[in-house]
Amino acid sequence: MRVVVIGSGAAGLTTASTIRRYNKEMEIVVITKDKYIAYSPCAIPYVICNEIPSFEDIIMHTPEEYKKDRHIDVITESEVLDVDSENNKIIYKDKENNEIELTYDYLVLATGGSPFVPPIEGVDLKGVFKLRTIEDGMKIKEYAENSKSAIVAGAGAIGLETAYALKELGLDVIVVEMAPQILPRALDIDMAKIVMKYLEEDVGIKFIHEKCHTDIRVWSTEGKGLVNKELEDMGIACKIVPFRWPCRKVTLMKNIPNFIRHLRKEKPDIIHTHAYRDHFFSVILSKIFKIPEIFL
């Protein structure tokens, strides 16, 4: 029996390891687009500013370790192109661009999210980055070493950590946020003001609030950076623009609730990690090992 897990984030790898704990014989295959797995994404900004010496220090396990210690095959730098649920098979493209067919008995969709890059003019220019993976962090760190200024789009936790990291490297940093406050999903506005005051006065980071993607655009990052149309005459100069707007969930279907109901009724061999934080593992175990959820 074979379980195929699409995605190597917390849900995907923990699912694979949990299945192995309950079943020592089942073949488990994890397929991921990422080159590096089992690392702490929250630590990436701390590597950028050299507080953590290297990106290798935040990687907890390698694909080779998963194979040796847990007998789990992790296929990296590969993308699933198609799921044939009628015949229980997938087609994926490996890092050599070969299209490979793989059958499954159970399929777990754990694709996670991807950073939302708003449709801003110029986001494809040199010096504009998203931040989600180790590879993204490596690119930002390398580019920042030859830069003097940066603008971070997004004032969430990782956006602020990235701004702080770039400031620690000696760059002039401006954070642009569409909400009227920083950390809009974590703090009330009165507490956010305290944090922002510290970042402005003690750290030296500047902020621009309530500027959505329709208000800004990117010029050439060699001289002009991410600017607000109202400030076009100023032409805020920067050389590096990391995007850290919220992640959006990546799925194979647009209507998640209907999709899940369809899977539960028609495709019990396909499991989606929509409920990972709540009762996901009880669903996994009850489906694969026939353990009633009431006992989990």
Residues 99 and 167 in one domain: no
Q: Are residues 241 and 254 in the same domain?
A: no
Tens of pLDDT, residue by residue over 35-82, are 999 999 889 999 999 999 999 999 999 999 999 999 999 999 999 999
**54 and 141 share a domain?**
no
Is there a single domain that holds both residue 59 and residue 177? no
Domain's final residue, options 228, 246, 264: 246
Residues 175 and 133 placed together within one structural domain of the fold: yes
Same domain, 194 and 146: yes
User: Is 212 known to be catalytic?
Assistant: no
Q: Are residues 119 and 177 in the same domain?
A: yes
> Within this chain, do residues 195 and 79 fall inside the same structural domain, yes or no?
no
Domain final residue, candidates 246, 262, 278? 246
Q: pLDDT: is 76 or 14 the higher one?
A: 76
**Contact of 285 with 292, CB cutoff 8 Å:** no
Same domain, 8 and 85: yes
Reported as a single tens digit per residue, the pLDDT across 191-205 is: 999 999 999 999 999
Please state the domain count of the chain: 2
From the candidates 42, 49, 238, 247, give the one annotated as an active-site residue.
42
- pLDDT at residue 283 in the model: 56
Name the residue range of residue 59's domain. Answer: 2-112+250-295
Say yes or no: 166 and 134 in one domain.
yes
Question: pTM above 0.75?
Answer: yes
178 and 237, same domain (yes or no) = yes
Q: What's the confidence (pLDDT) of residue 279?
A: 46
The sign of the torsion formed by the CA atoms of 283, 287, 293, 296 equals negative
pLDDT number for residue 234:
38
Evaluate if residue 190 carries a pLDDT over 90: yes
Query: Do 121 and 235 fall within a single domain?
Result: yes
Q: What is the CATH number of the domain that holds 260?
A: 3.50.50.60
Per-residue pLDDT tens digits for 258-282: 444 445 555 666 665 554 444 455 5
Last residue of a domain, one of 229, 246, 263: 246
